Amino acid sequence: MRLTETADLWWKNAVVYCVDVETFQDGNGDGVGDFPGLTQRLDHLVRLGVTCLWLMPFHPTRERDDGYDITDYYAVDPRLGTLGEFTEFVRTARDRGLRVIADLVVNHTSDHHPWFRDACSGRDAARRDWYVWCDTPPEDGPRGVTFPDAEQSLWQYHEPTGQYYFHHFYKEQPDLNITNAEVRDEIARIMGFWTQLGLSGFRVDAVPFLLETAGQVDADDLPDPHAYLADLRSFLGRRNGEAMLLGEVNLPYDETLRFFGDPASGGDELTMCFDFIGMQRMYLSLAREQAAPLADALRGRPQPPRWPTRCAGGRSRPATRTGRRSCATTTNSPSTSSPRPSATRSSRRSAPRRTCGCTAGACAAGCPPCSAATGAGSNSPTACCSPCRARRCSSTARRSAWARTSPPTGGSPSAPPCSGPRGRRRASPAPTRPVTPGR
């Protein structure tokens, strides 16, 4: 049997488990999770039935957006371990039949990234065109400002050079210009670098924003953004014929379909997409105790040319969405009773995804770890106190959670201390060397 006939079987049957390395397991006693600690827990994950680990950003960061503002794409945050420890983790996971994928955050960089620092040095800087600049900003796009509570515009004025730069998210996250051939080559190098170290694919962050950036560039003969996504898929396939691209595309179904690519070829862009509409309607059904919202979403969903993935939420713990009520309860909050298994189990073909917080640890609101501090079992409907989706719990709460959690001494290991959602971490040390293309 040819490889092309079986290469997709692993991700079609995968149980993907999302891991925030910093909040998962402390391996050296400094109060911060790391790759040695995660490596120690691989056997536990195997016993859970996990077949693939999805790593949230683990690169050096200034922590302006929970690790999604990266300052070096080719390094591991020194608080989380070394590149060697990362490689050892991937190899150990492979030995146990676990694949590893990671976030690919290339819509933007940190404003402290050496590329952007160079771009800000002058209008004639070598990497000036790696970002999107203009003299007079146009009106914000049809989606408007992504974070209206924190930003007033998608454009930020840079006084030293007298121009505005574009950012879909926070002003500390300038968008890369994917119409620039050098930027495209660099993104391919990033993918090739981590694939060479053993990754089996990537979860592509903010895919619609990544492609929409091209529309902000004032130039003729701009490349087709979707053709670029197909190029990324083709490049990854040449590096690893079994690799996959999981896309974050939070759009209506008819728009999401475009990100799979040409239906005639079975889809030549993203391998899988999250079913955000199904996820949102599932929680609405649970909150109202009515099946109609979820049923309507399932009936209206077209058959994708590739493969969907089911998730019970974002990076927040599903237990916080379906657990007991709290002061944050609203009319649409889930009931105090645990949902029936039939209400949360998907019967359609898909690759299910779980988050590290689905097992145990501090909840999204920062309350004590469910099993260690409260004594509640990890399957208890009252294990976590808040059904709302808090942004992230604090680093202090996470460190105290570890202090209250003793390692197992025998028998079946307890769930690793983790919080699911991440708090704002201490910023990584500033890069000590420039990051240059082609290294």
Asked if residues 397 and 29 have their Cβ atoms less than 8 Å apart, the reply is no
Phi, psi (deg, nearest 5) at residue 55: -90, 125
Active-site residues: which are they? 205, 248
CA distances from 36 to 22, 400, 429 (A): 11, 20, 20
**Cα angle, residue 137 at apex, residues 133 and 140 outer, rounded to 5°:** 115
How far is the C-alpha of 86 from the C-alpha of 105, rounded, in Å?
Answer: 18
